[in-house]
Amino acid sequence: MAKWIWYPGDYEIYHSLKLHTRRYERGVHLPCVWDLAQPYPNIAFSKHVSLAEETTFTAYATAPGSVEAVSGEFRHATQYRAATGSPLTLPVGEYNVTVQLMKPGGLPSIFIDCGALSTDETWHASHAIRDISGRMEFPNAACTPAYESASDDPEVFPFAHRLLEPVTRRADGDGYLYDFGEETFGALQIEGCLPSDALIVRLGESEAEALDDRAVFREEVNGSDCYSFPSFALRYAWISGGEKHVRLDHEYLPLTDRASFDCDLPEVKRVFDVCRHTFHLNSREFYLDGIKRDRWVWSGDAYQSYMINNYLYFDPEITKRTIRALLGKPPYLQHINTINDYTMYLLISIYDYWYSTGDSGFVREVYDRAEALYSFLHGRLDEDGLVCSRPGDWIFIDWAAFDSEGPQCAEQILLWKTMDVMEKLSALAGRPSPVRAGEAEVLHSLIDERFWDEGQGAYIDGFVSGRRHVTRHANIFAVLYDFAPEKAETIAERVLRNDSVDAITTPYFKFFELMALCRLGDVVSAQRMILDYWYPMLELGATSIWEQFDPREQGAEHYAMYGDPYGRSLCHAWGSGPIYLLGRYVAGVAPTDAGYASFDVAPQPGMYRRFDATVPLPEGEVHVRFDAESGEASASATRPGGTLRFAGKSVPIPADGSPAVIRRENA
């Protein structure tokens, strides 16, 4: 089937540019604060075809250009030429067909629907390179099934739309408050206005925000029969004057849930469902941090979203789009999102994507850019080969009180993991490794020498100040990335389960901490956190998971952040971690080979007396049950390769959907 085609990666880069222009607060557009790549403005699409009969075709394009077909040797060739959008007739014969166009600030793309000439991945694409010899190798063009008609426009992202009506409305002050029932995203529409009307419109994730003139979205508009505003995050809308007909054009990506979780504690299912709603709202062209602020693509946030995706949708396309958008194009002039750790998360994510899908073609596609990014990272290390802060860099890690003088331990463990990943990616791509032989081992020894504190049984933040300060972060990475397996239990007791070490305050790094504890077999900590941290938000009326939650705060304190009374995101993707924690560790589903060619189901019921879970797999799913009364754990799957492991036993899982069952002794 014919598809619109473009230069590989440019579709994601183009839509990333559009997305990063949309942050809007109190009448001010806030541009993105890091370097962004541009699509190549001039592209030549080419293909060699053999025509058995006279053929007339038309090349449609997103910009004016030329269509050229050449038959014969260069000096004695016969040429046929037409403009894009105009028909071109070719006699029987063999041709090198080239469509060339230029579109600065847009996405150069073409579409042909005509037999052997139909555009798809078999075409090639080059940027500003002409090959008169016919011997150069250009990359295959890129496409997606979303654009399969000449009337489609690849510069418009294919969102789905649904009109929503408020569930309640009431008079409030000199206007009306409209409640859509839950957090959502879309363009507000107002009907029933008089031309003489002058309206004030405020949108709010909370009722308090919509009723406050300091709301992040506040507009004054002149009267007309119908208004339509830019898409924005909201649950509530307050509009001055009399009652109006108000609707919301809800804009969303129609991803299919393939996961579920239920257990004997009904609060857990409620948390799972609200996390699912939160994650859907933030799954758009790419994974966003939040739908109100910043509405940007942050690599650290996305790193967690890739994991959650695999346990809710298992949709590889949104992960690939996000990785391509974040990678952009060389040359790299700064770290991804300006943050050192976010560069490393991105490189690690490419390997994680491969391991979960087995898609080595994607690794080969992005490898040159990944290697260039790694070279940029490596070129900014200090003389000892440690990650350090250079001008323009942001050593983030987390919002916490670190000893930040000199190199940070958490960054070095991430670097060690990145080196390991780059060696594996280069092997998958069939390329020489950019990591020098023995370099990762030297780094490992240096980290242990400078950052390990035997007396505290922990990795310290930094060694330069001499304060020997311990936070949880580096120690979480040491467990999570198997950096120090022989020290893992010591770290767990001396740091992760030690209340005298400052607690993690963000859901972002709390997710990593719970992952580390679960890897050590402590799923109960994650289960308790679901009840103690996530569920109390729901009791306060949350319909999506907040960026941050402190149970000691009261009322409108829950909405404030960064000095802004409504600066906190009340719908943040990183709050959806329970989806992953429940599927990966409680249900226990995980690949043991790339693409789930083999996989384990190792239930850890922890404090649950009963649970019933469905977890997606590539091209299938697994259904996991546990019941404490019978002592049975069971798993059924719709694809081969699974093994149920429970109570020290293991049995293969049939691929026909019938269950494998293990009964715990003395149940």
pLDDT digits (tens, 9 = 90+) for 254-263: 999 999 999 9
Task: Spell out the domains of the chain, with CATH numbers in brackets.
Answer: 5-127 (2.60.120.260), 160-252 (2.60.120.260), 260-586 (1.50.10.10), 589-663 (2.60.420)
Burial 468-484 (b: 16+ CB within 10 A, else e): ebbbbbbbbbbbbbebb
pLDDT, tens digit, for every residue of 521-547?
999 999 999 999 999 999 999 999 999
For 633-649, b/e burial (b = at least 16 CB within 10 A) is bbbbbebebbbbbbeee
Indicate whether 203 pLDDT > 80: yes
CA 31 centroid distance within chain: 20
Residue 450 scores a pLDDT above 60: yes
H or E segment and range at residue 591: strand 589-591
Q: What is the pLDDT of residues 265-296, one digit of tens each?
A: 999 999 999 999 999 999 999 999 999 999 99
Q: Say which residue the tokens 């009364």 belong to.
A: 629
Q: Which amino acid is at 594?
A: A
pLDDT at residue 420, rounded to an integer: 98
Residue 614 pLDDT: 98
- Tokens 């073409």 identify what position? 110
pLDDT > 90: percent of the chain: 93
In this predicted structure, the answer to whether residue 195 has a pLDDT above a threshold of 80 is no
* pLDDT interval class at 506 (50, 70, 90): confident
Give CA–CA dist 626/610, Å, rounded. Answer: 5
Question: Can you tell me the mean pLDDT for 555-578?
Answer: 96
333 conformational bin, left if phi > 0, alpha if psi -120 to 50, beta if neither: alpha
The amino acid that residue 401 corresponds to is A
The crossing angle, in degrees rounded to 10, of helices 340-357 and 409-429 is 40
Phi, psi of 545 (to 5 degrees): -85, 135
Cβ–Cβ under 8 Å, residues 461 and 470: yes
Q: Rounded distance, CA 411 to CA 471, Å?
A: 13
Which amino acid is located at 214 in the chain? R
What are the tokens at 207?
């009722």
> Measuring CA to CA, how many Å separate 231 from each of 23, 188, 191, 599?
11, 7, 17, 41
φ and ψ of 462, to 5 deg: -150, 155
Quick one: the chain helix, strand, coil %, rounded to 5? 30, 25, 40
Calculate the average pLDDT of the chain: 95
Neighbours of 442 (CB within 10 A): 12
What confidence tens digit (pLDDT) does each residue in 20-37 have? 999 999 989 999 999 999
Do 616 and 258 form a contact (C-beta atoms < 8 A)?
Answer: yes
As a whole number, mean pLDDT of residues 653-663 equals 95
SS3 377: helix
Phi and psi angles of residue 29, each rounded to the nearest 5 degrees, phi first:
-80, 130
**Ramachandran angles phi, psi of 99, nearest 5°:** -115, 120
- Distance (Å, whole) CA 595 – CA 376: 30
- Over range 42-67, report the average pLDDT: 96
pLDDT grade for 507, boundaries at 50, 70 and 90: confident
Helices (H), 430-558: 439-451, 472-480, 488-491, 507-519, 523-529, 535-539
Beta strands at 642-646 and 599-601: parallel, antiparallel or unpaired: parallel
The C-alpha atoms of residue 194 and residue 173 are separated, in whole angstroms, by: 20
Q: Summarize pLDDT for 127-172 with one digit per residue, the tens.
A: 977 665 556 678 999 999 999 999 999 999 999 999 999 999 999 9
Task: Tell me the residue type at 617.
Answer: L
Q: What are phi and psi of 552, to 5 degrees?
A: -80, -15
Nearest alpha carbon to residue 477 among 537, 415, 536, 538 = 415
Using omega within 30 degrees of 0 as the cis cutoff, is the peptide bond preceding 39 cis?
no
73: confidence class by pLDDT, cuts 50, 70, 90: confident
> Which residues, in sequence order, are bridge partners of residue 94?
50
| Predicted confidence (pLDDT) at residue 604 exceeds the cutoff of 70 | yes
Residue pair 426/433 in contact by the 8 Å Cβ criterion: yes
Q: Residue 389, exposed/middle/buried by CB under 10 A (0-12, 13-18, 19+)?
A: middle
Cα 495 to Cα 501: distance, rounded to the nearest angstrom: 6
pTM over 0.85: yes
Least confident of 98-107, 130-139, 222-231: 130-139
Q: What is the distance between the alpha carbons of residues 444 and 157, in angstroms, rounded to a whole number?
A: 44
Tens-place pLDDT, residues 388-416: 999 999 999 999 999 999 999 999 999 99
Q: Rounded distance, CA 219 to CA 144, Å? A: 37
Q: At what angle do helices 299-310 and 507-519 cross, to 10 degrees?
A: 50
Distance CA 15, CA 357 (A): 24
